[in-house]
Structure 1
């Protein structure tokens, strides 16, 4: 490892060490996370190398936080709806990069809406507000997970499995997920008026005035 890369690694480690308490604390807002820092993906997916040379991150990108915001406790996001995706990214290389797009596993969602490429400057923690997982293939209640493929301009494709977190406790103040188009309630039918409710003139009934009838 060269002296410049060693200095960069030390700086990145210091930045992550400073960020972990904020990411792990119980609190409101984007930085809210579970009570302990966690790798939000399948074991080893975001690690480069093996053995003693194994390093956190993948292709120079570190993702210390990733979750999909689900519904309030006891509710569900309907099939066809959308869910916000929250990522915290760190570019540990010495070169600018961009997150250009995100592709979900086709069994779980139709697309992920990234409004524009997200710039990743070296050594800067970057959050991704406004990103949504759209066209959910199944209803979400929290506790599920969705595999995503993050596509970077320089780092290439990085896959990780992201948990769906219910909007409760430290996540309760985050903006709720967009609601899906409500399904029409089952038809209950409208009451049909009975014959007795419709007055009809019966044969032989007088319709004239009292004077006419007397004549």
Structure 2
């Protein structure tokens, strides 16, 4: 191992070690979590140890944290609704990468909305606010899980199972998924009544197209 790769490995290990305490920190916002962080499972590769140092991933992309925000405690998200997806990603390579799309299992959701490709710079942590699981096929109460396939530009596809957690305790301050509103094109509209202008134009047309009487000169007597 060269000195530069050794330094990168040390830096990545430090970032990964720092990720869990940061995610476990109390308080509001994306960093709020518990001392037993909600990690994904069944990913392509278990890239880093066990317990608090556990991270899943593939080809240098590590995923130490992933969860889907469910409803308030005791409530449920209805089928057809949406849920926010929170991920923490770590690029342990020396080359930039991108999370381009996320595909859910067909039985659980219709799609996952990613506002734009998420850049993963070398040796840095990236978080993914604004990602939404849409078109839920069954109600969610918390405690379920949904299989997702994360598609990276360089690292390829990473399949993992992500837990659904209730929006309570330290997660209560996280915003729920936005509620879709009907667009103008989907709103019912009536047929517009003819306007006065159209009526007057029709009348004018009738008058101008009618045959006008013509005068003919009388024939001269022969």
TM range (shorter): 0.7 to 0.9
RMSD (CA atoms):
2.2
SS in 1 for 2:58: coil
SS in 2 for 1:69: strand
| 2:177 corresponding residue in structure 1 | 177
TM-score by length of 1: 0.76
1:28 pairs with 2:24 = no
| 1:16 corresponding residue in structure 2 | 16
Distance 2:109 2:75 in 1: 19
Q: Stretches of 4+ moved more than 4 A in 1? A: none
Structure 2 unmatched ranges of 5 or more: 50-54, 182-222
CA contact (8 A) 1:23 1:37 kept: yes
Distance 1:11 1:118 in 2: 21
Q: CA deviation at 1:39?
A: 3.2
SS in 1 for 2:32: coil
Q: CA deviation at 1:8?
A: 1.0
| 1:208 corresponding residue in structure 2 | none
Q: CA deviation at 1:48?
A: 4.8
CA contact (8 A) 1:71 1:141 kept: yes
| 2:46 corresponding residue in structure 1 | 47
Distance 2:157 2:44 in 1: 12
1:146 pairs with 2:149 = no
Q: CA deviation at 1:28?
A: 1.9
| 2:206 corresponding residue in structure 1 | none
| 1:86 corresponding residue in structure 2 | 86
Q: Please say which structure displays the higher CA radius of gyration.
A: 2
Alignment of 1:1-215 (within 5 A): 1-37=1-37, 39-42=39-42, 45-48=44-47, 57-179=57-179
Distance 1:164 1:58 in 2: 23
Structure 1 unmatched ranges of 5 or more: 182-215
**Count of matched residue positions in the alignment of Structure 1 and Structure 2:** 176
CA contact (8 A) 1:97 1:119 kept: yes
CA contact (8 A) 2:41 2:160 kept: yes
